[in-house]
Homo-oligomer: A and B are copies of this chain.
Amino acid sequence: MVVREKILDTVVSCFKRHGAKGLDTPAFELKDMLTEKSEENFGLMYDLKDQGGELLSLRYDLTVPFARYLAMNKLKKMKRYQVGKVWRRESPAIVQGRYREFCQCDFDIAGQFDPMIPDAECLKIICEILSGLQLGDFLIKVNDRRIVDGMFAVCGVPESKFRTICASMDKLDKMSWKDVRHEMVVKKGLAPEVADRIGDYVQCHGGISLLEEMFQDPRLSQSKQALEGLRDLKLLFEYLTLFGIAEKISFDLSLARGLDYYTGVIYEAVLLKPAAQAGVESLNVGSVAAGGRYDDLVATFDPKGYKVPCVGLSIGVERIFYIVEQKMKTLGEKVRTSETQVFVATPQKNFLRERLKIIAELWDAGIKAEMLYKENPKLLTQLHYCEDMGIPLVVIIGEQEQKEGTLKLRSVASREEVAIKRENLVAEIQKQLSLS
């Protein structure tokens, strides 16, 4: 939980740095609304039992509820972030950092703006967060739905098969091309030569030069749609260069993104495995951040079909949490589970009342303090507790101190003790804490 809080803190401060306001939407939505939006995810949803009233389901992402919120409130632009739980009925493979209930952190920019400026900011945000979390080297794969569809068209995929072939292609990060091709041909009835043409493209990834190459590609340049996508990506790369992050971005023709609602640029961040570092090698956590442009989703919730173009991203905090945890295990790091700064102890009996007075003073001064909930605890038990919990300072009150109007202040690490005046308690502790 402490690690988790730190991660969320990095993510949320970045969202705020980019001017986003926080938003919270309910955990359940109308079942029909969710199912309409994503047929592929249909089976993954948790429905609520019919107990009278509307049929409800638990949200499986934060994007659809956000689009519904925009339409319902007739908002034409908004930059918002949201941190919340989502639920999917998957067999949990906890080992891989996937759960049935998990936390999502989303940032989205809604509104009609000049091309690629908000899109570039989304990629900048992903870079800032992944750098800030110090997860090691990473790469953001970028593509465009229009390039994917254009590619399918020029390769000869029948339009009715676009979405299902796209879903197969989306598995390329987990399966080899050979297996994906097999699925396309055998399961989905695609002509082998069509699949092979797709196969040529999905091997391609690179930077701006690949973009230029695709502009010249005799087949792909036949598609007006693909050319639009390529033109936008070129502009995007220009902005990313100004942001100083172009070297982190790879134009990747194999990137498809499973969700139906994307209409333009799509992206997915992956961690590059540190070859040198043993123990972390076995991690195969997939993407740690992803997103894209979805210009038509809001209109589907608006009775008049009013369009609000959107682009956004989602940070895979559960996977990041898993990676950080594994790293810490490998490095043998231990995290404190509480933040307690001072422990109030006594070596003698009958000092409960004095301890209660002292600890109340500390709390009232905003100092994080604990004591044992026993009338007469042993001193050793109290000092062990401090060591176990990593509490740095101990205030000790005993007969001697009470007589003299003093207190002892003990450093747990050095075991040094100094006497301080009773009335200077808070000031002395604040001094000690600011030094450490």
Interface residue ranges, A against B (CB under 8 Å): 1-2, 4-5, 16-24, 26-28, 46-51, 56, 58, 79, 85, 87, 89, 101, 109, 111, 113-114, 117-118, 120-121, 124, 128, 239, 242-244, 337-340, 352-353, 356-357, 360, 363-364, 366-370, 373-375, 389
Contacts and interface: CB of A to CB of B under 8 A. Distances in A.
B370 A18 contact: yes
Given A19-B389, A28-B101, A46-B48, 7 more contacts: A16-B368, A19-B340, A20-B338, A117-B375, A242-B353, A244-B360, A244-B364
Given A353-B242, A356-B120, A356-B239, A363 B128 contact: yes
10 A-B pairs with the lowest CB-CB distances in the bound complex, closest first: A113-B373, A19-B370, A1-B22, A47-B49, A21-B337, A117-B373, A242-B356, A19-B340, A243-B360, A17-B368
A70 B23 CA distance: 33
Contacts of A367: 17
Nearest to A119: B373
Nearest to A389: B19
A375 to B, nearest CB: 5
Contact of A27 (B21, B87, B366): B87
Nearest to A17: B368
Contacts of A370: 18-19
A250 to B, nearest CB: 20
A47 B48 contact: yes
Given A23-B1, A111-B373, A366 B49 contact: no
A51 B87 CA distance: 14
Nearest to A82: B1
Contact of A51 (B23, B47, B79): B47
Contacts of A48: 46-49, 58
Nearest to A360: B243
A199 B4 CA distance: 51
A61 to B, nearest CB: 15
19 contacts: A16-B338, A16-B368, A17-B366, A17-B367, A19-B339, A19-B340, A21-B337, A26-B101, A27-B27, A27-B87, A46-B49, A51-B89, A113-B374, A114-B352, A117-B375, A121-B373, A124-B360, A128-B363, A242-B357
B339 A16 contact: yes
B49 A369 contact: no
A373 B242 contact: no
Nearest to A131: B364
B20 A360 contact: no
Contacts of A374: 113-114, 117
B26 A369 contact: no
Given A16-B368, A338-B16, A118 B373 contact: yes
